[in-house]
Structure 1
Amino acid sequence: MTPDEFLSALTEFDIQLSDKQIKQFERYFELLVEWNEKINLTAITEKNEVYLKHFYDSIAPVLYGLITDQPVSILDIGAGAGFPSLPMKIIFPELKVTIIDSLNKRINFLSLLTEELGLENVTLLHGRAEDFGQDTNYRGTFDFVTARAVARLSVLTEFTIPFLKKNGILLSLKAAQFEEELNDAKKAIATLGGKFIKEVAYELPNGDERHIALIEKKKETPKKYPRKAGTPAKNPIK
């Protein structure tokens, strides 16, 4: 997907990018490749692939109407090089984005990236989601939590649901179908106060299948969750 094909694909969803936004995506690509020489951000560095598998894929929640142009708060867990939250932020500058990452080098990259792209209302937090999830400054404060190919749902839900406000939504972006994952995660979702709402299935322009699971927080998460760092992955809620 060339940059021009990217722009054309967005117009099919009635999204027209300004010159500034086009340049922001261009600079994003340049910085991603440049910094990838120093730290491992992505295995995908070819321009057309970045525009398809990182930029286009990241904005799927916008394309399918799950995130709209409102000043809502979004927490991105395990964003790596800023996916999916920062491409959505470029499209909708009103979004208030917070990113948690456990690797300081990635936080340094994201700090430079947001500054260079002129993205405001972006907060970068260095640490583990399990620790921040017990911090009252962040727990129960977000409208949305996004996670793209981070962990199986039985683990991911413990990383994410505690951060949501009541009626807030977890958007879990997956490459493969997650029916089996969802069955495994039923106990975790219920225990943490969530409810599976629906799945959005779609294809990238090259035909690759993608899925987004929507899980809504219906009641407060018990105080014991998330458990200490490392425990959810080793011992998922069953």
Structure 2
Amino acid sequence: MTGRSGEAMEILKRLAEQLGEPLYSSQLAAFARYGELILEWNRRVNLTSVSDWDELQVRLFADSLALAPYVRQACAEAGDACRLIDIGTGAGIPGIPLKLVLPWIEVTLVEATGKKVTFLEAAIQALELSGVRAVHARAETLAHDAGYRGVFDVATARAVAPLPALLELCLPFCRPGGWGIFPKGAGVDGEVAGARRALEILGARLVAVEPVQIEALRGTTIVVVRLERPVPERYPRRPGMPAKRPL
């Protein structure tokens, strides 16, 4: 490997162990290559505000790995055919890191910005990922496509919207019994309290609100919800409405 890929991933290695998700050398090499791609493309495409190699290991990669135990548990019911959708994925976060540690899952990365989709396609090819695809679409539109609605075991999204809007954007992709697993930051308690009506309307229940228990990720909380019945057909509403007028 050359360039950034040759730099040690000691921070990620240490944090992954603390999270109970130890990484093989081949996985660390894949994360290094992925990080190199993000920083290289970020010079010309606004993928992320993260521009520091150490910060990338913490804020993008380790933060994504904090979801892995929850995704693994959710996928236990689906077996080898577990399907995850990542809404507003940007640079592929958290979908690609989850694929690197849970290689058996099928991952769909949804992104509305064309240049970011071009990056995702390049990253998928460079990392030689199978069972991963990038889709150029808005969630509000794609969720009404029969090929995507109600078929996923897990929906996730990072830094996309407050929880009430996020639920409307993500849960229509889930099958009944499927899961929404979301990393949230400061203000999560208020978001959870404000999401009660959305949960009721969409047919879901709150399962867990759990702070990540390692110092480097202090402030990250994982919110887990489960869909109990099909989401009413009218949701999500037209583009922009979930954020403008949350349930």
1:22 and 2:32 matched: no
The within-5 A match list for 1:190-201 is: 190-201=200-211
Quick one: which amino acid aligns to residue 23 of structure 2? L
Inter-CA distance 230–15: structure 2 relative to 1 (3 Å threshold): closer
Cα offsets for 1:66-95 (capped at 9, x unmatched):
122853111001111011111111111111
Q: Distance in 2 between matches of 1:15 and 1:195?
A: 27
Matching residue's letter, 2:36: E
Kindly tell me the number of residue pairs found equivalent between the two proteins: 234
- 2:199–2:205 contact (8 Å) kept in structure 1: yes
Structure in which a larger fraction of residues adopt helix = 2
Query: Which one of the candidate residues 168, 180, 185 is aligned to 1:175?
Result: 185
Gaps of 5+ in 1: none
Distance 1:198 1:207 in 2: 18
Aligned AA (1:47) = W
Partner of 1:43: 49
**Secondary structure, in 3 states, of the residue corresponding to 1:66?**
helix
Normalising by the residue count of structure 1, what TM-score does the alignment of the two structures yield? 0.93
Aligned residue for 1:148, secondary structure, equals coil
Alignment map for 1:1-238 (pairs within 5 Å): 3-62=9-68, 65-68=69-72, 71=80, 72-206=82-216, 208-237=218-247
User: What is the letter of the counterpart of residue 96 of structure 1?
Assistant: E
Q: CA deviation at 1:170?
A: 0.4
Gap runs ≥5 in structure 2:
1-7
TM-score by length of 2: 0.90
SS of 2:16's partner is helix
Structure 1 contact 57–204 (Cα < 8 Å) conserved: no
Deviation at 1:189, TM superposition (A): 1.2
> Counterpart of 1:74 in 2: which secondary structure?
strand
Asked whether the 8 Å contact 1:52–1:204 carries over to 2, the reply is no
Identity of aligned residues (%): 32
1:6, distance to aligned residue in structure 2 (A)? 1.9
Name the CA distance, whole Å, in 2 between partners of 1:83 and 1:185: 23
Name the stretch that deviates more: 4-13 or 39-48.
4-13
Deviations, residues 117-169 of structure 1 (Å, cap 9, x unaligned): 11110121101101011111000000000111210111111101111111111
Q: Compute the displacement of 1:13 (Å).
A: 4.6
Task: Kindly state the Cα deviation for residue 214 of structure 1 after the two structures are TM-superposed.
Answer: 0.6
Structure 1 residue 233 displacement after superposition: 1.5
> How far 1:204 sits from its partner (Å)?
4.6
Which deviates further from its counterpart, 7-16 or 86-95? 7-16
Cα pair 1:142 1:164 within 8 Å, conserved: yes
After superposition, the C-alpha distances for 1:42-84 in whole angstroms (9 at most, x for unaligned) are 111111110011100011011xx21228531110011110111
Q: 1:34 to 1:191 in 2, by over 3 A?
A: same
| SS of corresponding position for 2:154 | strand
CA contact (8 A) 1:204 1:210 kept: no
Given residue 66 of structure 1, which amino acid in structure 2 is its aligned partner?
Answer: Y
Mean CA deviation greater in 195-204 or 25-34 = 195-204
